[in-house]
Amino acid sequence: MQNQSSFKKSYHYRHYNLPLSFPSIAFLGDSWVLPDTPLEYLHFHNCIEIGHCLSGSGTLHIENIEYEFHAGDICFISENIAHISKSSLNQTSKWEYIYLNPSLLFEKNFPGGKPESLLICSPYLSKAFPHREEPYLHFLTCRMFAEFHEKGPNYQDALRGLFLTLLTVLYRHIPEQLSEHSTNLQIHSALLYIHKHYAQKLQIGKIAALCHLSEPHFRRKFLEVMHISPLDYINHYRIRTSCYEIYRNEKPLNQIAKDVGFTTLSSFNRQFHSLLGSSPTEWCRNMIFSKDHYEIVSLDDDSSKNFFTL
C-alpha cells in the first residue's frame, strides 16, 4: 500500500565505496534493525539498493511516497533516490541489503554504453514490492542473498546474471504499471531524457515537445506524477549527482557545478544550500569529518553494524 508522504524533508548523502573488482556488497544476517523512532531525514546514495525484510513491519518513504512493508517484502531503490524507512511502533523490523553499481558491473558486457534497461530512474520502480504480489522478484532477490551467504564456486558470475535478470524484469514493469495512464509513460520518457542530459542546458519546453505535450500540460502532469515541478526535479538531480563528485574531491567546485549543468557557481551554491541546508564548501568539510562513518568499506568492525540504526 502506498500513500502521499507528509514527512518534512531533510537530505543526507551516503557514499558506498564498492570494490572495483566486483562492485556489489551485501549486509547479511539479522543485525540490520530499523528503528521505530520518528524520522529526521531522507538519504540518497551512489548505487542501487535492494532490501529484503526478514521480520516485522513498517513504512518506507521514497521521495514523496510512503509505502507499507511487512516480513518477506523487498524494496528496490535507484541511485540518487531519496528514501528512509522505519519500523512500526514497538516493533523490530530486520533487513538484509545488497548494494550494486550496474555501470561498473556490466561495463564489459555493454562496451557501447549502459542500455536503457539499466537506467532505472522511474518513480514506479523505486518502491516496496509485496512478496505475495511479486513472487518472481521475490525469488530472484532471495537467490541473490543466498549466493552472498553461500559464496559457492563462481558465485559472482551467478550474481551478475541474477542482477541483470532483476533489472530487466523491473524495467518490464514500466509499461505494465503505466498502461492505464499513457501520459505517465510520457513523464517516464522525460525522466530518462533528464537523467541522460542533465549536464546540458535543459529547456522545459523542449522536454515537453519530446513527450508530445504542450509545456503547460507537461508541467501539470509532471507535478501530478512526481509531486515536484520539472525544474525543481532537474535541479535536485543535478545537486544529488554533484555530491558524488564533491565527495571524491578531485575537481574544483566551479568545474563540478559546470559538469552537472549549472551555468554559474552562484546558482549551484544557491540550489545546493536550498536542498542540503549548507554551502558545498561546508558540506564537503562536514563529509570529510564524517567520512569514516559514512564510507562503508568493511563489515568486519562492529561500528559498521550500527549504520542502519541512525
What is the number of residues in the chain?
Answer: 310
Q: How does pLDDT run across 121-160, given as a tens digit for each residue?
A: 565 678 899 999 989 999 999 999 999 999 999 999 999 9
CATH 3.40.30.10 fits 182-292, yes or no: no
Of 7-21, 44-58, 294-308, minimum mean pLDDT range: 294-308
What pLDDT score does 173 carry? 74
Q: Across the chain, what does the average pLDDT equal?
A: 83
Query: What CATH number was assigned to the domain covering residues 2-179?
Result: 2.60.120.10
Q: Which cell numbers hold the place of 142?
A: 532471495
Q: How does pLDDT run across 245-289, given as a tens digit for each residue?
A: 998 888 999 999 999 999 999 999 999 999 988 999 998 887 765
Indicate where the chain has its CATH 1.10.10.60 domain(s).
182-292
| Sign of the dihedral defined by the CA atoms of residues 298, 301, 305, 310, in that order | negative
0.85 exceeded by the pTM?
no
Indicate where the chain has its CATH 2.60.120.10 domain(s).
2-179
Q: Are 79 and 50 in contact (CB under 8 A)?
A: no
Q: Are 13 and 247 in contact (CB under 8 A)?
A: yes
Cell 526535479 sits at which residue?
A: 233
What pLDDT score does 302 carry? 46
